[in-house]
Structure 1
Amino acid sequence: MSVPPPYPYQARAIAHGLKHARCGLFLEPGLGKTRISIEVVKQLPKPIIVLAPKRVIDHTWPSELAKWWPECRWLSLADGPDSRLINYGLDADMYLLNFEMFAKMFGKDGEHKWRYPTVIIDESHNVKNRDTFLFKALRYNAGKIRHLLELTGTPAPKSLEDLWAQVFLLDRGQRLGRTITAFRQRWFAPGAERYQRHMRPAAQDQIQSRISDICMSMTAAEYLDLPEFMTQDIVVDLPPKARIFYDKLKEDLVAKIGEEQITAMTAATLAGKLLQVTSGNVYNENHQSVHSNTAKLDALRDLQESLGDLSLLVSYQYQHELEALRKLGAVELRDAPDTVRRWNKGQIKMMAIYPSSGGVGLNLQDGGHHLVWTTPTYNLGHYIQTNARLHRTGQTRPVVVHRLVAAQTIDRHVYSALARKASVQEALMDALEVFVW
């Protein structure tokens, strides 16, 4: 069976990848960045190595290669040590490796010799932290890489600071500075609190202008005729005992934090504890549940009943949520190798997904069009990527994202924070194309 030609917008991205030996394709989920990158590297020196999250390596790349480059000889380096050693020694066009193993294999003290002229970093926002072993290992090998292609739909999930490490790997500091300190000093000003920084006037425009030649951006809304995307907030009231517990916990934590300087860490501790309460459970230092309520679980059960035979994808944050979902008949995405296939064939009526490990790179649009968030996340990348598992090319029905929101709690503040982060993200994408409450 012949492979259909790329869409015109994909052809533009392919041309960009071939024109620049080292470049970024910041394409929103659903635009086919995997297919685009495959078309690019077909014409580049072999062997190729693809770096990505484990689940993307195990599921997305094998299926996409089967569709768009069936004759490609590929091997996985993401399995056990014996298989990894054998496959490393075999000849292939492409090798697939998960982020977690990269430094062990190819870092400064790595086990193996580097021999890959062409590299794809899929979901490159995972290398935004220059202090990780992953970034250090990539920087160590940067001079040996002739062609580098970075792929992500969320290049700056938290702030434009997330761009520095990704762009550094492309140009060795030419555009945004050779160190993160120089980058921050030029475009950010210190805030009132420790570790807090604010963008200087015109910083966003200047940063975007500096990287626009090598980083191409496209948004799904401009190029895809996707079905409608709707968000429904299902507001739930905490039971009286849970409300008293929540208010007392908030008061005690704020008072405790108030005795010292507010930092991101202490604010995160407060937020995490309060989110545990609204999710249904809160734990002590020994990881024992000290309070529970079923407000959101009851709302989820009502939603499940109202959907009838329609399948429901559920994003959860805590283990106790997964345990409750299993009692409702849910299957977790990672339960079995064929879970994705069964979901897309309509054989699973409720599937649970953990955003940080399963919200990237998977095609789940054939299995359903309803997604529920039991507990909000501060991570914009996880939020966008998880929603995009359903709202992507091939989806034929309107996608509805249901968000369970506990009334008068931190839940609403988290979603407001996501909206503020999204405004920065959207500004970046558009430009590149032409604590205590």
Structure 2
Amino acid sequence: MVTTPPFTPTPFPYQLDGACAAAWNGHTLIADEPGLGKTIQALLAARMMNAHRALIICPPILVTNWEKETRRTRNAECTDGEILAITPATKNPGQQLPQAGYVIAADSLISARRQLEQDLTAWAPDLLIVDEAHRMKNPGTRRTKAVIRIAKAAHERICLTGTPIVSTPLDVIPLLAILDKNDAIGLTGRDIVDQYTTPAPWKGGRLPITSKLPQLHQLLAEHVWTRRTKADVLPQLPAKLRALHHVTPDPAAIRTAHADLDDTIDTWLERHPAPTDEQISELVADALPFISQLRRATGLAKVPAAVDWISTHLDGAPDDPLIVWTIHRDVTSALADQIATDRPDTRVRTLDGATTHDARAEAVDAYQAGHVDVLIAQIVAAGVGLTLTRGSTALFAETDWTPANVVQAEDRQHRIGQTRPVQITTLIAEHTLDARIHAVLTRTIGVLDDLTPGSDHHVTTGSTDTTGPRDIIRQLINDRLTTRQETAA
């Protein structure tokens, strides 16, 4: 006989409200700000919905966390079922699917293994939970297509993400497909494209129509999501304190990084001394790959300044472990190597895309247990779903184009369980791509203010002269063109 064990831990009142909204009111996108316990809300909703077969799809780094939380809440016991966590080492997972219980699978595995997708679809879960659902924002990826196909076989669906709209209203289109919510808001995906965006100057791009975004927000709030901010439900949570720290890297390293792009532009301008707008647009497309090269070079050039900042922090607050956020793996490695050279007694761990499933879990546990002084983590690889509240200080040695990704990373520390203000410092290298990246962040923040008002996504301040990588390349081209014209004069 199946018993009903108590749900553990006792949820906060707002978490109970969120679970009820998902289970009974059809607000099946739990979109609370990061750090408010969406996992608990989804598992509580599953308990309310009496789901005997629940499939949880999440990023690879979160499989272990979901397994632990499912055991802690004792949900599987209510189904007299099992918990199966599918990892890359799981052999023939389709043959191990339980008659009842919880199956947890990484979204990357589902997109890579068509047989696994088919097995999970045939399992026909009572409830599908998709964690960090903003990872499905691109409808053309294998991951998004696989999740949508599985969702059609599920009786109920719940999506979780603290950043439902990363940068454009188009981000919600796949989420609505997963949740089968187009009828609820009276809009198809094509309607959202046509009514809330307009063609961009570059081919195939779309820009938000800012005057209409509050209307879309209202539809989503009424029919699709439950979204609360930390200020709404946890007024006692300590504040975030953000600061920019300007540094001057080695000019030679920056010149070297820009040399290839400058040479490419100069060679092109020799053939087109008075280029038309159309010709410049063609060059912009050809030069876009250089942006990644410049970002990487800027990150590497900041390593000495970052290590100085890290040393100052550790000397002044040795009991406050530090998280250092990066973008590029070689920047992560360079930081770790330099700290090992300068401070051999400092305990350093790294989390990047190459970190194995078990090593990630062990590194997080070690950090939380106080056995790590500096955790160097890639924003994309470790910026979601983890709880890292042992420390209250973070350094962004590199940052991201998207405010949502930055906020997700910040909120590994600024979440339930944090008792101190979280101090976040971002390194800005003078005369590099950094300033332009922050202009992009500022522009995107304006869109998010309309779509998710009241949320904490003001990760930077600055000018809005540039709006994206293409505009940055165009500005660099114009700078070179002006220099050539002044030299000729």
Q: Give TM-score scaled by structure 2 length.
A: 0.78
Structure 1 unaligned regions, length at least 5: 282-291
Task: Note the C-alpha offset of 1:100.
Answer: 1.3
Please tell me whether residue 415 in structure 1 is matched to residue 425 in structure 2.
no
Query: Mapping of 1:281-320 within 5 angstroms?
Result: 294-320=304-330
* 1:139-218 paired onto structure 2 within 5 Å: 139-171=148-180, 173-174=182-183, 175=185, 177-179=187-189, 181-200=190-209, 202-212=211-221, 213-218=223-228
Identity %: 20
Q: Which amino acid aligns with 1:241?
A: A
C-alpha distance in 1, partners of 2:207/2:304?
40
Mapped pair 1:341 → 2:373 = no
Structure 2, gaps ≥5 residues long:
1-5, 270-274, 341-347, 456-470, 476-489
Identify the residue that residue 274 of structure 1 maps to in structure 2: 294
Deviation at 1:268, TM superposition (A): 4.5
- Identify the range of structure 1 (222-231 vs 72-81) with the bigger mean alpha-carbon deviation: 72-81
* Secondary structure of the corresponding residue to residue 10 of structure 1: helix
Distance 1:265 1:54, change over 3 A: farther
Residue 37 (structure 2) pairs with residue 19 (structure 1) = no
- Tell me, yes or no, if the aligned pair for 1:253 and 1:270 is still in contact at 8 Å: no
Cα shift readout 1:166-199 (whole Å, capped 9, x = no counterpart): 11222263336444x4431222111222223222
Amino acid of the structure 2 residue aligned with 1:56: L
Matches of 1:183 and 1:99 in 2, distance apart?
26
Q: Structure 1 residues 142-151 or 196-205, which shifts more?
A: 196-205
Q: 1:326 aligns with which of 330, 336, 359?
A: 336
**Residues 82-97 of structure 1: pairs in structure 2 closer than 5 A:** 82=91, 84-88=93-97, 90-97=98-105
Please state how far the C-alpha of 1:387 moved relative to its aligned partner.
0.6
Q: Please say which of residues 26-35 and 182-191 is displaced more in the overlay.
A: 182-191
Contact 2:393–2:422 under 8 Å retained in 1: yes
Give the aligned partner of residue 400 of structure 1.
423
Which among 214, 220, 227 is matched to residue 230 of structure 2? 220
In 1, the alpha carbon distance for the partners of 2:219 and 2:283 equals: 32
Higher relative contact order (CA 8 A, sep 6+): 1
Larger radius of gyration: 2
SS in 1 for 2:91: helix
Counting matched residue pairs gives: 421
CA contact (8 A) 2:261 2:287 kept: no
Distance 1:308 1:262, change over 3 A: farther
Answer yes or no: is the 8 Å Cα contact 1:159–1:424 preserved in 2.
yes
Q: Secondary structure at the match of 1:165?
A: helix
Over 3 Å counting, the alpha-carbon distance change for 1:166 and 1:301 in structure 2 is same
What amino acid is aligned across from residue 18 of structure 2 in structure 1? A
2:61 alignment counterpart: 55
Q: Which moved more, 1:260-269 or 1:368-377?
A: 260-269
Query: Residue 138 of structure 2 is aligned with which of 123, 129, 133?
Result: 129
Letter in 1 for 2:10: P
Tell me what 2:466 maps to.
Answer: none
The one of 379, 403, 413 aligned to 2:402: 379
Evaluate the alpha carbon distance shift between residue 4 and residue 271 of structure 1 in structure 2; reply closer, same or farther with a 3 A threshold. same
CA RMSD of aligned residues (A): 2.9
What amino acid sits opposite 1:261 in the alignment? Answer: S
* Partner residue in 1 for 2:378: 354
Q: Does 1:364 find its partner at 2:382?
A: no
C-alpha distance in structure 2 between counterparts of 1:263 and 1:8, whole Å: 56
For residue 64 of structure 1, report the CA deviation from its aligned partner. Answer: 2.1
Paired letter, 1:400? Q
**1:236 counterpart residue number:** 247
Q: CA deviation at 1:373?
A: 1.1
User: Is 220-229 or 416-425 further displaced after alignment?
Assistant: 416-425
Residue 430 (structure 1) aligns with: 453
Native 8 Å contact 1:280 1:295 kept in 2: no
The one-letter code sitting in structure 1 at the alignment partner of 2:61 is: R
Q: Distance in 2 between matches of 1:422 and 1:114?
A: 41
